[in-house]
Amino acid sequence: MHLLHPDEINQFRQIYKDEEWRFVTIPFTLNDVGKSQEWQKFFDQAYQFKIIPIIRLTTRFDPSINAWQIPSRKDITDLARFLSSLDWHQNEKFVIVFNEVNHAAEWGGTIDPLLYGGILKFTSDWFHSENKNYKILPAAMDLAANNSNETREAFSYLKSLYDFDNAIFDNIDYWNSHSYPNPDFAASPVKTGQNSIRGFTYELNWLKNKTGKNLDVFITETGWASSYLTNYYLDDYYLYALQHIWSDVRVKAVTPFLMKGSPGPFASFSFFDASNNPTVQLFSLQKAIKNFDVLTF
């Protein structure tokens, strides 16, 4: 599951009632540096609830440019040192190096794969030098983005990264994907194409063709928007994804977006509403998991 705030972890086992180890993705911002008590409690609870955190590095939002700031090297070292000061209770420590950088709003109001490539390498080198068994994932691409002043098509962006440094992907340990059912977060799971929930397969094939690498993948964002078009089918959509897509042996984890985004622009994705009541998303996913377990028993 994808969380926005550390205290949301308390609701996780209301969704997954089993005893299996499961993953959560959560952003960690520059404003979180120094909040030792809050974040140590998060890691303690994660271990208690048998949850493996995937930490997504984040800077600060700058309203003057309506975008997330580009990190400096000092920002990277501050993030790394603070995270290394905490007890994760985990051997492998998964870290995502920022988010959807083929959107200008996610990268200082600009699209700059060359600068991101340099930041990715520096971040990877620094975290690996901490000797804490960090595992580095790149920023996921928005696979539905086109070429415009505000966005860059995903594979065009990745090609620019590779052309700048054909060893750039030596700096990552796993792939990271946002494979959504587009268009409109409402498409059937049987749909194919890079903007479908099979999008990660196109990314892994591209990576294999360019570098020869066979990487496992974390799908750290995915899921359908709740609407009159999708609600009737959500049970079947989730079940089909579990059976035929997320069961791919290369998929290490799937963390649907979003535990709680209500009220706000992500309300239709939320598994709990603004009053902490379960939504159709939660009931549909639970039913699909139950049916999937019965079918695979």
Residue 50 domain-assigned (yes or no) = yes
Task: Quote the number of domains for the chain.
Answer: 1
What pLDDT score does 268 carry?
96
What pLDDT does 293 receive? 78
- pLDDT for 296: 60
The amino acid occupying position 83 is L
Assess contact for 285 and 256: CB atoms under 8 A.
Answer: yes
Q: For residue 257, which of 123, 148, 100 has the smallest C-alpha distance? A: 100
What are the pLDDT digits (tens) for 53-102? 999 999 999 999 999 999 999 999 999 999 999 999 999 999 999 999 99
Please state, in angstroms and rounded to a whole number, the distance separating the CA atoms of residues 214 and 69.
32
State how beta strands 251-254 and 217-221 pair: parallel
**Is position 1 within any domain?**
no
Q: Domain containing 88: what range?
A: 6-296
Contact criterion met (CB below 8 Å) for 285 and 296: no
CA distances in angstroms from 250 to 171, 185, 204, 218, listed in the order given: 19, 23, 9, 9
The CB density around residue 234, as the number of other CB atoms within 10 Å, is 20
Looking at the DSSP bridge assignments, the partners of residue 136 are 95
Q: Can you tell me the distance from the alpha carbon of 96 to that of 294, in angstroms, rounded to the nearest whole number?
A: 34
Q: Read off the pLDDT of residues 260-294 as tens digits, 9 standing for 90 and up.
A: 998 899 999 999 999 999 999 999 999 999 998 77
Indicate whether 86 belongs to any domain. Answer: yes
> Does residue 231 lie within any of the structural domains?
yes
Give the CATH number of the domain where residue 229 resides: 3.20.20.80
